Amino acid sequence: MRPFHYVKANDLPGALQAFAPQNDPTNAAPSVNAATQYLAGGTTLIDLMKLDVMRPATVTDINALDQSKAGQIEFGDNGLRLGALVRMSQAADHEAVKSNFPVIAQSLQLAASAQIRNMASLGGNVLQRTRCTYFRDTSYDNCNKRNPGSGCAAMDGMNRNLAVLGTSNDCIASYPGDFAQALIALDAMVEIAGSAGTRMMPFAQLHRAPGSTPQIETTLTQGELITAFQIPNLPWGKRSLYLKIRDRASYEFALASAAIALDLDNGTVRDVRIALGGVSAQPWRAAEAEALLKGKPIDDTMLLAAADKAFEGARPKKHNAFKVQLGKATLMRALRDAATMTI
């Protein structure tokens, strides 16, 4: 870890001000090289600073903002609003979340460990960086995420944990989180504060595909801060779940996961939401698989067709080729489980 300036923000204007342009003359979109970083739970940031992957000159502590709306959970006619400084465990344990959107509660409950869930904020969670070991090990020069244009050590390296969907020729890093899959499946909006004011954006537009610029991971502009997630009411959100498949029973990132919400009418799919995790470069909505299932019965033929559709564009590598079949099996099992859920 390198020395850095620590700034404690007392409120939102204070936090945004700490991100004044002079702190970061490049004015580029946030990347590992950004000169200023927001600190909430710190479970990713501090980890990567210790590894020398992130070297911010200034760290702006925003934890005091949890005394504002950014630290609250609200549920009402407008749906569910989760403040960005709500801790993962708070949201996972919230009654309204558990009963109306089980997929959200489960995605949080199955992530990390109790200690980390107590620390990590929801805003920080969705911005968690990849676990690609070549990204996390600075003794490798060739990582396009860290050193744009340097190549990708993972492409032909040990890539069992990496992505098969949404990858590019420059990066196959997988998005590691769980909660984002729930948000994307539920058509959540993300509330973003910046120097020009607050804006709302579909959560699905937050993460960028790696393409030829994997160092730019989100569409946030410099200094912007996520303040909340807004999830619209979904009466059939009660029939939702998160299935996470991994080698061990807990404390591991997904090899494959599926966030499902299902609107069922006598065994026929009226509507369905599918998001996939562990297999993709960014939170992944399987929209074509959803379209295929609408109006159809939940049977083995349809499930297989939907799964095939969801992984149509998969680009497997040597050690992660199994993720195509595993991802399909996970999706089918999640849909079957959702269909047989007792509400």
Partner 1 sequence: MSNKAAPEPKANMGGPVIRKEARLKVTGEARYGSDMPVNNPAFAYLITSSIARGTIKSIDLAEAKAVPGVLEIFTHENTGELKKVSYGANGGGSTTSIQDFGPKIQHDGQIVGMVVANTFEAAREAAYKAKFAYDVQPPSAGFDSKGVDESSVKKKLPNAGDVKELYDAAAVKFEASYGTPTEHHNPIELFTTTAVWNNDQLTVYEPSQFMHGLKNNVAAKLGIEPGQVHTISNFVGGAFGAKAQLTPRTGLVALAARKLNRPVKLVAARDQGFTIATYRAETRHNIRIGAGRDGKIASFEHEGWEVTSRPDSYSVAGVEDSARLYGFASVKTGVTLIHADRNTPGFMRSPPVVPYIYALESAMDELAVKLAMDPIELRRVNDSMTDATGKQWSSRSLMKCYDEGAAAFGWSKRTAAPGSMSDGEWLIGYGCASAVYPTHIGAATARVQFNADGRANVQLAAHEIGTGVMTVVAQMAAERLGIPVEQVQVELGDSKFPPVPVAGGSNQTASCCSVVMQACDAIMEKLNGGRAETVGGGSADGVRQKFDRLGVSTLEQYSEFVPGDARPNPVVGLVTNPIKKLYDGVPTLVGGSHGEKLMYALGANFVEVRVPKYTREIRVPRLVGAFASGRIMNTRTARSQHMGAMIWGISSALHEATEIDERNARYTNDNLADYLIPVNADIKQLDVIMVPETDNSVNPAGVKGIGELGNVGTAAAVANAVYHATGVRVRELPIRLEKLLA
Residue ranges that bind partner 1, judged by CB under 8 A: 1-3, 50, 52, 131, 133-134, 137-140, 156-158, 160-161, 245-253, 255-256, 322, 325-326, 329-330, 332-333
Distance separating alpha carbons of residues 176 and 251, to the nearest angstrom:
12
Look up residue 16 and give its two tokens.
């945004």
Whose Cβ is closer to partner 1: residue 84's or residue 143's?
Answer: 143
Smallest gap from Cβ 329 to partner 1, in A, equals 4
Whose Cβ is closer to partner 1: residue 4's or residue 236's?
Answer: 4
The residue assigned the tokens 């709500």 is 86
Whose Cβ is closer to partner 1: residue 77's or residue 247's?
Answer: 247
Asked if residue 285 lies in contact with residue 198, where contact means CB atoms within 8 angstroms, the answer is no
DSSP letter at 152 equals: B
Smallest gap from Cβ 315 to partner 1, in A, equals 17
Whose Cβ is closer to partner 1: residue 238's or residue 246's?
Answer: 246
Smallest gap from Cβ 142 to partner 1, in A, equals 11
Side chain identity at residue 208, one-letter code: R
Side chain identity at residue 221, one-letter code: T
Smallest gap from Cβ 109 to partner 1, in A, equals 12
Smallest gap from Cβ 10 to partner 1, in A, equals 27
Whose Cβ is closer to partner 1: residue 44's or residue 100's?
Answer: 44
Plot region of 16 (φ>0 → left; ψ -120 to 50 → alpha; else → beta): alpha
Smallest gap from Cβ 197 to partner 1, in A, equals 39
Whose Cβ is closer to partner 1: residue 50's or residue 199's?
Answer: 50
Smallest gap from Cβ 237 to partner 1, in A, equals 24
Whose Cβ is closer to partner 1: residue 23's or residue 330's?
Answer: 330
- Parallel, antiparallel, or unpaired: how do β-strands 225-231 and 189-194 relate? antiparallel
Whose Cβ is closer to partner 1: residue 50's or residue 294's?
Answer: 50
- Please name every residue paired with 6 in a beta bridge, in sequence order, or none if there are none: 59
Give just the sign of the alpha carbon dihedral 54, 58, 63, 69.
negative
Give just the sign of the alpha carbon dihedral 329, 327, 185, 272.
negative
Look up residue 21 and give its two tokens.
């342009």
Smallest gap from Cβ 136 to partner 1, in A, equals 8
Side chain identity at residue 309, one-letter code: K
Look up residue 10 and give its two tokens.
């007392």
> Please, where are the H alpha helices in the chain?
12-18, 45-50, 88-93, 95-100, 102-109, 114-119, 122-126, 133-136, 179-185, 287-293, 300-310, 322-339
